[in-house]
Structure 1
Amino acid sequence: MKRLNWGMIGGGKGSQIGPAHRMGAQADGNFALAAGALDHDAERGKAYAAELGVAPDRAYGDWREMLEKEQARENRVDLVTVATPNSTHFEITKAFLQAGFNVLCEKPMTMQVDEAEEIVAIASSTGKICAVNYCYSAYPMVREMRQMVARGDIGKVRVIVVNFSHGHHGDAADADNPRVRWRYDPQIAGVSGQFADCGIHAMHLASFVSGDQVRELSADFASAIPSRALEDDAMVNFRMEGGTVGRLWTSSVAIGRQHGFDIQVFGETGGLKWWAEQPNQVYYTPVGGRTQIIEKGEGGLSGEAARLSRVAIAHPEGFPMAVANIYVDLAAAIRGEPHGAFPTAEDGLRSMAAVHQAVASARQAGAWVDARPPSLR
Structure 2
Amino acid sequence: MINGEKNIDEPIRWGMVGGGRGSQIGYIHRSSALRDNNFKLVAGAFDINAERGKEFGVNIHVAEERCYPDYKTMFEKEEKLEDGIQAVSIATPNGTHYEICKAALHANLHVVCEKPLCFTTEEAKELEVLAKVKNRVVGITYGYSGHQMIEQGRQMIANGELGEIRIVNMQFAHGFHSEAVELDNPSTKWRVDPKIVGPSYVLGDLGTHPLYLSEVMLPHLNIKRLMCSRQSFVKSRAPLEDNAYTLMEYDNGAVGSVWSSAVNAGSMHGQKIRVIGSKASIEWWDEQPNQLRFEIQGKPVQILERGMDYLYPEALTDDRIGGGHPEGLFEAWSNLYTRFSFAMEDINHGSNLNNVWYPGIKAGVEGVRWVENCVRSADNGAVWVEYK
Q: TM bucket by the smaller chain? A: over 0.9
Q: Which residue is 2:231 aligned to?
A: 222
User: Structure 2: which amino acid aligns with 1:203?
Assistant: L
Alignment check: 8 A CA contact 2:281 2:294 kept: yes
User: Structure 1: which amino acid aligns with 2:183?
Assistant: D
Q: Which residue is 2:147 aligned to?
A: 139
More off after superposition, 276-285 vs 174-183? 174-183
Deviations 1:19-70 (A, max 9, x none): 1101100111111111111111111111111111112222111100111011
User: Structure 2: which amino acid aligns with 1:54?
Assistant: V
Once residues 308 and 316 of structure 2 are traced to their aligned partners in structure 1, the CA distance between those partners, rounded to angstroms, is 9
Consecutive unaligned residues in structure 2, runs of 5 or more: 1-5, 347-352
Q: Which residue is 1:366 aligned to?
A: 382
2:349 counterpart of 1:357: no
Deviations 1:155-196 (A, max 9, x none): 121100010000100124x35233333322212221111111
Question: Cα RMSD over matched residues?
Answer: 1.4
Q: Which residue is 2:3 aligned to?
A: none
**Superposition pairs of residues 236-275 of structure 1, within 5 angstroms:** 236-275=246-285
Deviation at 1:146, TM superposition (A): 0.9
Q: Which residue is 2:356 aligned to?
A: 340
Q: How many equivalent residue pairs?
A: 371
Once residues 216 and 345 of structure 1 are traced to their aligned partners in structure 2, the CA distance between those partners, rounded to angstroms, is 22
User: Structure 2: which amino acid aligns with 1:38?
Assistant: F
The 3 A distance-change label for structure 1 pair 241 and 131 is farther
User: Structure 1: which amino acid aligns with 2:171?
Assistant: N
Alignment check: 8 A CA contact 2:95 2:195 kept: no
**Superposition pairs of residues 1-377 of structure 1, within 5 angstroms:** 1=6, 2-172=10-180, 174-177=181-184, 178-211=186-219, 212-229=221-238, 230-336=240-346, 337-372=353-388
* Percentage identity across paired residues of the two chains: 38
SS of 2:310 mapped into structure 1: coil
Once residues 371 and 47 of structure 1 are traced to their aligned partners in structure 2, the CA distance between those partners, rounded to angstroms, is 47
Once residues 40 and 160 of structure 1 are traced to their aligned partners in structure 2, the CA distance between those partners, rounded to angstroms, is 41
Consecutive unaligned residues in structure 1, runs of 5 or more: 373-377
User: Structure 2: which amino acid aligns with 1:329?
Assistant: R
Once residues 119 and 70 of structure 1 are traced to their aligned partners in structure 2, the CA distance between those partners, rounded to angstroms, is 22
TM-score by length of 1: 0.95
User: Structure 2: which amino acid aligns with 1:176?
Assistant: L
Deviation at 1:339, TM superposition (A): 4.5
Alignment check: 8 A CA contact 1:304 1:340 kept: no
SS of 2:245 mapped into structure 1: strand
The 3 A distance-change label for structure 1 pair 332 and 175 is closer
The 3 A distance-change label for structure 1 pair 249 and 51 is same
Once residues 112 and 386 of structure 2 are traced to their aligned partners in structure 1, the CA distance between those partners, rounded to angstroms, is 28
